[in-house]
Structure 1
């Protein structure tokens, strides 16, 4: 007979997939993944099976623990897992490897809005991993960027243990001021702030509000320290935020690719509770989709009241969407709709798809110690290749690819963590040049190809595509443009004035809003796009600027320059050398 906890978990997945429970696309995909894996576990070549006993064990353990605050704590009630919580618990702990019976999932990304009992559930899971997971000398950490946040999970776990004498006695748990420990085997559960030392050997770690982490250093240190453990588990629980350059947003993008099947990572478990792009954020349906504990741990009336306040106040709307709908919010007064931009991504889009096709390059060189950006733009109507035809049939008008160069010294600076993250995650995203300043020869390598023994450059963008012209900002560009001119490349100077940028900026906004620019999900451009704010004048002209110096916008600026040349209606590639706009 099926365990009722496990059956409720499976039923939740079936109801979500069937549409009986309102859920966003990512939750539907997560449930579909679970159900498909259940169907596949009988296949000889499928390496995992679902262990009902292990799944039920964790569900039962958590529900033996008491509430620690609020009306249920006052009544001395125990935790009761809702169907969605049974699903995430059973799926996370029930899937094991056929080869050795050890846990399948090593990492969990759980994006859940505020007031949906994230910390309470995580506290119960932390206690299980500390005491009942069968790990001798377990080390469980509740990690965050501040002591206050680290205690958001550890405090309820400590209170649960103190209120459950049977738990303390059964496992020999001692409650310390700042940790829980088991003397018999050296196990411990404690909060962790910032970056831990290299001596830790965690069996599990729980990272709360990951969107507040400026870097992935804490998570990476925990992951690398888990190497000696048989079935470690790293759990990330968070709401959305506004740092599109941070590790949390990057991990969410990765998790979404796994759920879509575009990325293969069978050891990553992901639940992303949010709304779909087409949803009306002011509706009750949006609240129910994003908040699985609607009218349980979070009052429906409370959410509806907050929603009404957000509708009446634009300033409150951003906070409401982020914390209660898990919608990532871009920079204040941001000009472009980053959500629409992300929706227009084509994950399998490759530069090779456009080999031999006409294109134009926008180039923003910035300062010698800062990021330089190049934007290669294809107008699909002028291309004659299968990929262009395919994209046009989907409503796209342009395809773009970004290039970024940054000096090694700038990347290694403490304030440039996101630069290091991009470089380490995918070297093709960001080209690191040697030394303290931009190496313009690296940019020439990209455009003209590398030099042979005879000193002649071959290949590059010029060799692979019909590079009709390069639009550039003259600042810092003299040496580079001279070399390009000598190689016979048409260079068009686009001075950084309102007259040159207003219409391209407006056109770019319209193209993004209509999802007409195909791109490969390049995270650097997405971050830069979120930083662009408009500087208007009295004639309704706009000019791209940023709120803070560290909010780089070089990629979008380069894109506007390339787009401006397409909008000019001029034939390219006729006159060689300099053309001033």
Structure 2
């Protein structure tokens, strides 16, 4: 096996087909096949698991023949509907993906190990063709009666792309055509009463599914878990259900894809174990590789097969001159997360840098600044405490309240219950958030921390401010204009860029840290709108993209930033520690 100067793989002396899954993993780990660091980790995981076979704590074995069966079926019967191809020949990375998903089984039951798989690759890798073929195999050769295989997407138009490819494959093959019954909206395999159907989040038949294998296409477009949860709940009666998510990167940075991607990084880096999910995460490793065509194969493992390198180079040279086209190319062709849109406050990589966890026990008695944003009483209300740390970092302890009526209406697809379970949000009985809840939160926190000052937007705040002042808190109004908020926005952004904003924490006595996904969601929803004097003012990106937690944080930071940089006795400027406050 050699690799050309263009990064295209030339394979020589390949092993027998049933060994190709492991062969690919070995070549990647040895550096003989160029791959991104996360694919290298996936291959190391496979090789490590091979060595774990037969041990008491690892009930799984790799059956190369089982892994190769769907590949053999696809190559024999499934012809791509587009392009001048006489036969579909799967590449090494596809052997690794399909072979791993179908080849790892329980040592006693021989049922599949992996219940879910995330395949994260750039566009034009032939994923639609391969996954369509896998669905035809799954509905007919997987030994299951009454197996439903939904092909899913955020819209029916996208779902039908997979379905129409599968239907075209059946039509093009005399052998498949004899065994399958293709209709406009379903492909039936009558022998086992099984079928393949396109489904979308707005489909009416979702609740009646009995899912055996589900294929989710382009989950970067999903804003919530509604469709995914329906499918997960439909697989209870299956012996070896399988959910496959196949997607490129996208702009929806607070949706399921980013959650699953980060979970995958944790699993591959052995932060926590998950033996039942397969990950293949193919992307460029660094922005420096944008102008290194020999590295593009990391995100495009089909380079030289379904994509010509010279065409891709030409397209990049053109796209990088136009900001909107450049971002789209980076996202879809380099499979690299970029800003949600041109006005986003922060990009994915910047938000990800701020992932530290602080032990709340270490902050007992520490001084801090409070902030709150009341918004409408029928909507989100948020408050926070911001702690300046002697490291130059800040810690934000954030909480939100929401009326139960809004949760029951659930017209925004926001995971209120999950946030409440994690202690990030309180669901208030009734139709609105009573100000007493915010008052009581500050009172409770004042028993643990020294709240020096509470900042606020004066809109709708009169009663709560009087209540807080009556208790003994000092308060400070924050005028919501460019002169006040503009400098705080700029300072907060610099802190995020430097990875100095901490919002995850560990409760006293708790084993697991609390990841404040609600606060991260607020941050991701912020866009910046400069005024006529180029002062940056925060706005939310859309009607349902809430930023209340960020607004509360920004209020507190108008005061914290003053305390973090103060003149010393010599007249120089420097950071001060909590003990200096």
**Alignment TM class, shorter chain as reference:** 0.7 to 0.9
Q: Which moved more, 1:174-183 or 1:495-504?
A: 174-183
Distance change (3 Å), C-alpha of 1:257 and 1:430: farther
Quote the Cα distance in structure 1 between the aligned partners of 2:208 and 2:503.
42
Quote the Cα distance in structure 1 between the aligned partners of 2:157 and 2:276.
30
SS in 2 for 1:535: strand
2:341 counterpart of 1:331: yes
Displacement of 1:230 after TM fit? 0.3
For residues 125-140 of structure 1, what are the structure 2 equivalents within 5 Å?
Answer: 125-140=134-149
Displacement of 1:312 after TM fit? 0.3
TM-score normalized by the length of structure 1: 0.86
For residues 395-414 of structure 1, what are the structure 2 equivalents within 5 Å?
Answer: 397-414=393-410
SS in 2 for 1:38: helix
Name the structure 2 match of 1:53: 65
SS in 2 for 1:198: helix
- Give yes or no for contact 2:319–2:329 (8 Å, CA) kept in 1: yes
- Give yes or no for contact 1:411–1:417 (8 Å, CA) kept in 2: no
Name the structure 1 match of 2:577: none
- Give yes or no for contact 2:21–2:64 (8 Å, CA) kept in 1: no
- Give yes or no for contact 1:336–1:509 (8 Å, CA) kept in 2: yes
Name the structure 2 match of 1:28: 40
Name the structure 1 match of 2:100: 91
Displacement of 1:467 after TM fit? 2.7
Quote the Cα distance in structure 1 between the aligned partners of 2:71 and 2:358.
42
1:431 to 417, 426, 432: 426
Quote the Cα distance in structure 1 between the aligned partners of 2:163 and 2:535.
53
Quote the Cα distance in structure 2 between the aligned partners of 1:446 and 1:270.
41
Query: Deviations along 1:534-576, whole A, 9 cap, x unmatched?
Result: 333454432222353433222222222222212223999xxxx
2:192 to 169, 172, 185: 185
SS in 2 for 1:37: helix
Displacement of 1:12 after TM fit? 2.3
Displacement of 1:138 after TM fit? 1.6
Quote the Cα distance in structure 1 between the aligned partners of 2:153 and 2:532.
47
- Give yes or no for contact 1:5–1:59 (8 Å, CA) kept in 2: no
Query: Deviations along 1:280-309, whole A, 9 cap, x unmatched?
Result: 434325532211112211222232223222
Quote the Cα distance in structure 2 between the aligned partners of 1:163 and 1:367.
59
Quote the Cα distance in structure 2 between the aligned partners of 1:285 and 1:363.
51
2:36 counterpart of 1:42: no
Displacement of 1:142 after TM fit? 0.9
Query: Deviations along 1:100-145, whole A, 9 cap, x unmatched?
Result: 2211111112222211111111111101110011112221111223
- Give yes or no for contact 1:24–1:290 (8 Å, CA) kept in 2: yes
Root-mean-square deviation (Å): 2.6
Name the structure 2 match of 1:492: 476
For residues 157-172 of structure 1, what are the structure 2 equivalents within 5 Å?
Answer: 157-169=166-178, 172=179
Quote the Cα distance in structure 2 between the aligned partners of 1:257 and 1:410.
34
Query: Deviations along 1:207-245, whole A, 9 cap, x unmatched?
Result: 112222343222211111110010011111122222233
Distance change (3 Å), C-alpha of 1:20 and 1:358: farther
2:253 to 244, 255, 260: 244
Query: Deviations along 1:255-303, whole A, 9 cap, x unmatched?
Result: 3333333343321212222223554434325532211112211222232
SS in 2 for 1:225: coil
Distance change (3 Å), C-alpha of 1:397 and 1:490: same
For residues 118-517 of structure 1, what are the structure 2 equivalents within 5 Å?
Answer: 118-169=127-178, 172-194=179-201, 195=203, 196-285=205-294, 287-328=296-337, 329-346=339-356, 348-381=357-390, 392=391, 397-420=393-416, 422-423=418-419, 426-449=421-444, 461-517=445-501
Query: Deviations along 1:165-223, whole A, 9 cap, x unmatched?
Result: 23455xx3333333222223211122223343422211111111222234322221111
1:564 to 552, 558, 563: 558
Name the structure 2 match of 1:541: 535
Distance change (3 Å), C-alpha of 1:252 and 1:165: same
SS in 1 for 2:244: strand
SS in 2 for 1:191: strand
**Any unmatched runs of 5+ in structure 1?**
382-391, 450-460, 573-581
Distance change (3 Å), C-alpha of 1:183 and 1:549: closer
**Any unmatched runs of 5+ in structure 2?**
1-13, 505-514, 567-581
Query: Deviations along 1:65-104, whole A, 9 cap, x unmatched?
Result: 343234443xx2x211111111111111111123422111
Displacement of 1:442 after TM fit? 3.1
Quote the Cα distance in structure 1 between the aligned partners of 2:398 and 2:77.
52
Q: Which moved more, 1:35-44 or 1:79-88?
A: 35-44
SS in 2 for 1:360: strand
- Give yes or no for contact 2:412–2:544 (8 Å, CA) kept in 1: no
SS in 2 for 1:402: strand
